[in-house]
Structure 1
Amino acid sequence: MALESLLSEATRAQHYALLKARSGHEALRMVLNHDFAVILLDANMPGMDGFETAEAIHSHPRSSAVPIIFITAHYGDERHRLEAYSKGAADYLFTPVIPQVLQTKVAVFVDLTRKNLELQAKTRELSLLNQDLRVQRVQDLERINRALEQEVAERKVAEQRAQALSIRDPLTNLVNRRSLIAQLEHAVASADRHGGEFALLFLDLDRFKQINDSLGHEVGDELLRQVAARLLAAVRVSDVVARLGGDEFVVLLEGRGAGANAARVARKIEQAHSRPFEINGQRIATSTSIGIGLYPQDGGSAAQLMKNADTAMYHAKQHRRGSIEFFREELNTRERERAQWVTELQAALAGGQFDLLYQPRAALPDGAICAVEALLYWRHPRHGLIAAPRFLPDVADSLLLEQVCEWMLGAACAQAAAWRAARAAPVAQVVMAVDLALLQIRPELAARVLAHLRRCKLGAGWLELEIPEHLLLDTRDSAAVLRQLKAAGVRLTVDDFGSAGAALAMLRDLPLDAMKIDRAFVRAIGVERGTDMAAAIVHLGRALGLRVLAQGVHSAGQLAVLKSLGCDEFQGELLSPPLPAPDMLALLQAGTQHQTTSPNPNQAALSTPKKRGQSR
């Protein structure tokens, strides 16, 4: 209806008829009975879609040369556009359609068809007048026709180039200011309609004018192109990255949790730009100051939000180049606290403030200690001993997290080797378990783990890696890495099973040895359906051929249920709290077994070494 209203007035002015088809099948019937100058075709239609319809139209001799213009709402979908051109499309328009553009394009094809018809009529007329002259005239007309076709093709290329220039920055090929404003207004309307939110990051390069003036505009332009490439690599495909002009860029983050993710994305961009840029053999160092505005909290319109994000960026430059500022001060305070926490964590890594405590794991049904899990703690100068779950979740610096995990893995392997050197018989049978919650499963992980084992002269079979379930969800990279570790003899356990919804097919295909029941399911034993859930997980483990371990066991009642279900191992406060290395060694050398039939459900039957200043 919209296209008809745009073209109906032109039909009277240019003397052509406008026919409508409600589906691809109806369109195919029409092309058999009419001669068309141009066909406007939607990419999405019931039954046959636009691509199938276009292929069918061009497969028939009668309509093989009819130009087709695709019209679609899939804005920026390069795959659909390429598919349309592969089906013989003459052009590809996005809705909402600019009336003048559509009318001009239709007029060109109608005019071309009219000229072709006139040429055909003149050719027939001339053939009747003079047979000898007809050949020469036809050749002349064919030259004119080719010239007209070339003109149409050149006009089409020029229109495509103009369309690209209207929405793209010619230097970086990012979205330009005009297109960004349109997308911002759309984001505002969408957020208002659905009660959502989005974030706007306003970026400005530090020292760009100095670099541009001292090294030349060519170097400055290349720097902007490389900055644009790093920006695109640091955000999701669905995020919008725009260049406003000069050295100013904007990132639009939409979708669920955009506001909460704004600081994380900003830090990722900041880290990406902290590395020097290589241009013409020169290393150029710069940084990016970032201001963050959130809709609707920081502005009721696209223009107001842009202004406030720009203000936040200006404050970031004033505060410290290469920093991040929210428009609202309370968010800045929280971000500074997080940055201070990261700084202290870096100092802790360099100053040897990390420590490992060890919690034993016992086999069922006899209660003999069969493994020890290394747990990371921070001996903070002001806050005392802090467990890893309290200080690591807010750290977004992936390099720092990997360094901490590397230290933990190396310290655990070294401690296991030291215990084995003690030549205590029970110790020699105990596996060292290390939680990989801080690491990503990357191709180099296997080599790093095995390097620690070789350095400590520790057999791979005495190391167990506990891998959180959520890290296994992307099996493309993890499967090959886990197979390398498994082939070397390292034991592999799924930690916190049931917390991330891993598919059963994934667990079946990965080379795993055991699964560890998430502590929430252990805690639910004894409440309504809690025991049933624990039983289901144990049976699932059996079906997958995995040993089943339980963590967070605090009462004899929970232990009794797990034992009756056939659980293989358990750990928790009922067995022993985390202990320092000397106390853990004493416990291992004592070889004490947990009394799984203790009559008192609130009393742990395992005697642990008494710490100084404590009573048993």
Structure 2
Amino acid sequence: MRVNRAMCRLLGVPADALVGAVQDAFGDSGDNAIEREYQQDLLAGRSDAVQYERRYRPKDGHTVWALVSATLLPANHEPQHFLIQVNDVTERKRAEEELAHLAHHDALTGVANRAMLSEQVERELAVARRRGSRLAVVFIDLDYFKHINDTYGHETGDVVLKELASRLAHSVRAIDIVGRLGGDEFVVVLSEVSDARDVIALTDKLRRECGRPLHVNGHEVRLAVSMGVSLFPDDAQDFRTLLRFADSALYQAKGEGRNNVQFYRPELTARMEMRVRLGAGLRTALERGELEMFYQPIVTLADGRPAAAEALLRWHHPELGLLLPDLFLPMLEESSMGEEIGAWTILESCRQAALWNADGGPGLRMGVNVTPAQFKSGRLVPVVEAALRATGLDAGRLCVEITEQSQLADTEQTRATLAALKTLGVLVAIDDFGTGYSSLGYISRLKPDELKVDKSLVTDVDTDAERAGLVVAALAMARSLRLLVVAEGVETEAEQAFLLAHGCDMAQGFLHARPIPAPQFEQWLVAAGRPKGAGGAPAH
């Protein structure tokens, strides 16, 4: 047996201590057993070479993850020596573990995020069905949180959210679940409750704990929460509906003066009626010309010059005014109009990009979002191809953005669609990266051109050590795959400076511009120092 100096450094022992040593002294016993099985495969001729990951335990006691490649070297046609190559992948594994934690926990508060909450509640619902027991979904909203942010600043607001999450987690029973949906919205799921009186006892305790004043940076911040409750099986059978009903009850609690608890009742349908109203309007919004694309610039961090734009859908509702997609996209994806409007957004984005690039200059790349339904329909590639043909836009100027949360299955259809887009010359980006969990292997198989790091990681990245670590890990992963990285939601010079210092390529956010209509975007381009192209004279 021979070992090189690198292996000695890895395990922290000299060569003479390794040669002839018992393997269990330096490795995880379970991994050692698996490794011996691989070696038996080589000896039996079942494999010519094997590769696997395993753990080593160096002398100082810490864990080293390694990627091991092993082959058998014959002499006189008989097995003679194992050739084992060991590569230290500890940092990669640590980055993957951090991203895995982010996939299931809210980055700010540490409680379950929406994905993990859904998984846990579905399991609890299955248990409740088997046992014939009752379960309560409590939708919690911090009263006047905007006032807290406006008065004391967003840093204090984050401290308040962390403390609220901590109080909720310490006030519930071990069998209950606490999660954060976003902003100041939390969900608590109470298992094994007998009736409404049980729920009231628990929610009263939550309100008392959450209502205690909080002292932050010399300020006493007074807190109060409103709660809406729905019950399984009384109100609904699935988590999605239970959450919607609890949200309706929460709306009623706020209407009753806040700082109270309301149970769902069938007559609390105002929000659902609004959804129905918006759904009906969507069916005619396109033909009435009520939809418009806004554009948000993406700049190169190295020189600050405009590099791209993201096209974002807006709806000029005849009664409700300008609506952001958060209000209507869930309904759009469920409606029969989803695919038609999705095709229109691609065509309109290509048309505008072609105008801005018509002078033959370096031009701008245009990013356009596609929904999981569009991607999985099997008709995305023909729609993109038709839009490029109709507008004359160079395919390399179009970037199709797919949200990480959509978690496209790593199937033959997925890979075929992505390959067809790349054959056209279209770029592909993973959007909102950090809100789901994509392993290094998953992303490498999808072969995107770009990662867009979600705003939830970028906000306060210069001061929040946890977010900074996650962003640095994401950048390292992107570099290993040779992907461009865009940071979304950049709002301060300090955030941008951190991103630039750590090798991020591009930035998008309010620091540079909000999403704006095409005429205003052209004005922004002129002010930013890049000619707008042949899209018409700047608006005055």
Q: TM-score, normalised by structure 1?
A: 0.43
In terms of fraction of residues, the more helix-rich structure is 1
Relative contact order: is structure 1 or structure 2 higher (C-alpha 8 Å, sep ≥ 6)?
2
Please identify the structure whose Cα radius of gyration is greater.
1
In terms of fraction of residues, the more strand-rich structure is 2
